[in-house]
Amino acid sequence: SGWEKRVRASAKPGTNSGFSVLVTGAAGFVGSQVSLALKRRGDGVVGLDNYNAYYSVGLKRARKGLLERSGVFIVEGDLNDVVLLRKLFDSVAFTHIMHLAAQAGVRYAMLNPKSYISSNVGGFVSLLEVAKEADPQPIIVWASSSSVYGLNSKVPFSEKDRTDQPASLYAATKKAGEGIAHVYNHIHGLSITGLRFFTVYGPWGRPDMAYYFFTKDILKGKEIKIFEGESHGTVARDFTYIDDVVKGCLAAVDTAEKSTGSGGRKRGAAQYRIYNLGNTSPVPVGKLVSILEKLLKVKAKKKLLPLPRNGDVPFTHANISLSQKELGYKPTTDLETGLKKFVKWYMGYHGGKKKSVAL
């Protein structure tokens, strides 16, 4: 059929050594950038996304346009649609799955808890069920989250630290995902690498994240709420620039490929891994705002409030020695440099006007 043809053409690597990668969440922020980077280096890429309305569907469609212009086809569908997933794997022998689809956001989990279970737990299991039956079995790299460290107060966070105190249902589903991944590695021999991303930001980013809506509100002259930790001191995030995260994702694919054995997919060689992908330099939220004020040349109207129990943790800070050692991961973009690129993109995308962004 026409659909199958488009899927096959999109999956076809541009070079002999290229992979055929299924990228879930390809219309999302990280998924779209990872898809473009894979395509650019010669891999074949097929996207999957359900275009959920958690934030601007217009922005997701714009990312889709970007991918299509680069020759990447995004299949519109849900992770929970096992019939569709089987159809995809019947059409293409995917060598890798880059699983970046999820119900994201920590605060929204208080409003719609079941959507997190459905996509992040149920959807992940559907994908793994189909992957385990595929021949060859694809190597899987997926996005966990720094949120699994929860209220852990030992900093910086290293992969061996405790993850038994999630602060949000989002974090709890990512933690569940790590357990589920381990089971599919253990029983079914799937090679699975989980990447704990730390507050990813940059061009084409997510309107539900602070750096994005602060930019929008500062430009509109609207008051912004800055949550300061009451008992924990300053609220800070280990902001990590999108290009650094994308490099880490590709390195994870290549590292797993090397240890699992190209093509043959040596059973028993399959690996289960977890890595932090952070920036190792947490920045207080107040500092984030002052950088934005400087870049936007507008003073923010600030309201300081104590950090409520809304799912946010007081701080995040990655120890990246393991990902540095095993993946060669090395972030190079500081927050001001990254935000400059974000602001430039924001002005272009939103027409430079103080137009409101649909969240």
Q: Which residues lie near ligand NAD (CB under 6 A)? A: 25, 27-31, 48-52, 60, 78-80, 100-104, 119, 123, 143, 145, 197, 199-200, 206
* CB of 23 vs ligand NAD, minimal distance in Å: 10
Question: Which one of the listed residues 116, 170, 212, 346 is annotated catalytic?
Answer: 170
Question: Closest distance between ligand NAD and the C-beta of residue 29, in Å?
Answer: 4
Q: How far is the CB of 107 from ligand NAD (least distance, A)?
A: 13
- Residue facing ligand NAD at closest CB distance: 28
- Taking the least distance from each CB to ligand NAD, the nearer of 78 and 244 is 78
Q: Please, which residue, 143 or 256, has the CB nearer to ligand NAD?
A: 143
Q: Respond yes or no: is residue 346 known to be catalytic.
A: no
Nearer Cβ to ligand NAD (13/200):
200
Nearer to ligand NAD, 145 or 193 (CB): 145
Q: How far is the CB of 317 from ligand NAD (least distance, A)?
A: 14
Phi, psi of 21 (to 5 degrees): -115, 130
Q: Which is nearer to ligand NAD, 80 or 271 (CB)?
A: 80
∠ CA 64-62-13 to the nearest 5 degrees?
25
Least CB distance to ligand NAD at residue 14 (A): 24
* Residue closer to ligand NAD, measured from CB, 137 or 173: 173
Q: How far is the CB of 60 from ligand NAD (least distance, A)?
A: 5
Give the residue numbers marked as catalytic: 170
